[in-house]
Structure 1
Amino acid sequence: MFDCDLHTHSRFFHFDPSTGAAYDPIGTRLALAIGKRRGLDGIAVTNHDYFRPETLVSPTCIPGIEISTTKGHLLVVGPDPPMQTERGSLSPNAAVDLAHEHGCAAIIAHPFRNSLLRESNAPFDAVEINGKHPEYRRRIEALAEDRGLPIVGGSDAHFPFEVGRVSTRLDIDRFTPKAVVDAIQAGNVEPVFRDGPILRGIGSIYTAIHYTKRRLKSK
């Protein structure tokens, strides 16, 4: 068994691979350090619409990318993710096909936050419970049951202190990118939740931020 946070970012600012690229390895090292303290065996680095091999500073890093499709964000993790995608250019089906062509798993990220991926008939491999919105757990469980998909967990950390709030337990013997993909696609995974005053505080802040943004957009 291995425990991995399948949704982390190496920096807060994103969407432009060149801006602050030198920080990516540093951010990953910090995320790994926090993850280790919280009992993780590794993390997947899933920056928005780009992947850089130099970000993988340890064998405990799983390659990945978070693709901005026309309907929402798709987590792609595995041995050889796409290097770069154009934001909002790929349909859900095209993005999933691209992930599978690269030997990666395709996961619906935060399905109830700024996303309509859940309405697509694309052949997803799993659905995520996101660390920023654990309150959607019951809805995600219902979605997963309806679609026949396994559930994974990821913190969606953009800052190192967020890592590991939700992670994924993988029933594998070796922690390799291919083994992670195989476990996800076989359904040999389950989400892991961590609690504590710091993590609860982080969750409360994000919940307030996103509800405020939603109210402002509705006006």
Structure 2
Amino acid sequence: MGGVSIVAHPYDMFRSAIKPDILTTMPDAIEVINSASILHSVTWKRARTFAEEKQLPQTAGSDSHIPETIGKAFTTIECESKTIASVLDAIRNGATTPDGQAYSLGDRLRKLARRK
């Protein structure tokens, strides 16, 4: 269908996620930075190690549910043009640079306060 498959927040200990080591088919990329991960120093390292061992492209996401956390983590994609096809090809080819930071305690408290 032309899309890309990216395993989101693998190895996260407090949210359900696909554990990449049990996959029988490899995804197109692995999210190695997720701002919402609580034990981010552990989960990010495990995800990055897996992606490097399998030579998979790496991405990042803020997993934002409130405006204040949008962009806490992001993926820079180097592509030839801004077309969907070019962006997807760049992800598949590993022309990505994940970056970002974990939510602060204040971010987490704001997110909890807005739950209903």
Q: TM class by shorter-chain length?
A: 0.7 to 0.9
- CA offsets 1:91-112 (integer angstroms, 9 cap, x no match): xxxxxxxxxxx21110001111
1:127 pairs, out of 30, 42, 49, with: 30
Distance 2:19 2:84 in 1: 24
SS for the counterpart of 2:27 is coil
Give 1:103's aligned residue.
Answer: 2
1:200 pairs, out of 95, 104, 111, with: 104
Per-residue deviation at 1:137?
Answer: 1.7
- CA offsets 1:6-52 (integer angstroms, 9 cap, x no match): xxxxxxxxxxxxxxxxxxxxxxxxxxxxxxxxxxxxxxxxxxxxxxx
Give 1:148's aligned residue.
Answer: 55
Distance 2:101 2:53 in 1: 26
Bigger-Rg structure (1/2): 1
Distance 2:82 2:101 in 1: 21
Distance 2:57 2:17 in 1: 19
The answer to whether the Cα contact below 8 Å between 1:169 and 1:191 also exists between their aligned partners in 2 is yes
Please list every run of at least 4 consecutive aligned residues from structure 1 whose deviation after the TM superposition is greater than 6 angstroms.
none
Per-residue deviation at 1:126?
Answer: 0.5
SS for the counterpart of 1:105 is coil
The answer to whether the Cα contact below 8 Å between 1:164 and 1:194 also exists between their aligned partners in 2 is no
Alpha-carbon spacing, 1:169–1:202, altered in 2? closer, same or farther (3 Å): farther
> Structure 2: which 5+ residue stretches go unaligned?
none
Give 2:89's aligned residue.
Answer: 182
Give 1:116's aligned residue.
Answer: 18
Question: Cα RMSD (Å) of the superposition?
Answer: 2.2
Name the count of aligned residue pairs: 102
The answer to whether the Cα contact below 8 Å between 1:107 and 1:124 also exists between their aligned partners in 2 is yes
Identity %: 28
Per-residue deviation at 1:146?
Answer: 2.1
- CA offsets 1:57-106 (integer angstroms, 9 cap, x no match): xxxxxxxxxxxxxxxxxxxxxxxxxxxxxxxxxxxxxxxxxxxxx21110
> Structure 1: which 5+ residue stretches go unaligned?
1-101, 210-219
The answer to whether the Cα contact below 8 Å between 2:29 and 2:56 also exists between their aligned partners in 1 is yes
Distance 2:86 2:106 in 1: 31
- When normalised by structure 1's length, the TM-score is 0.42
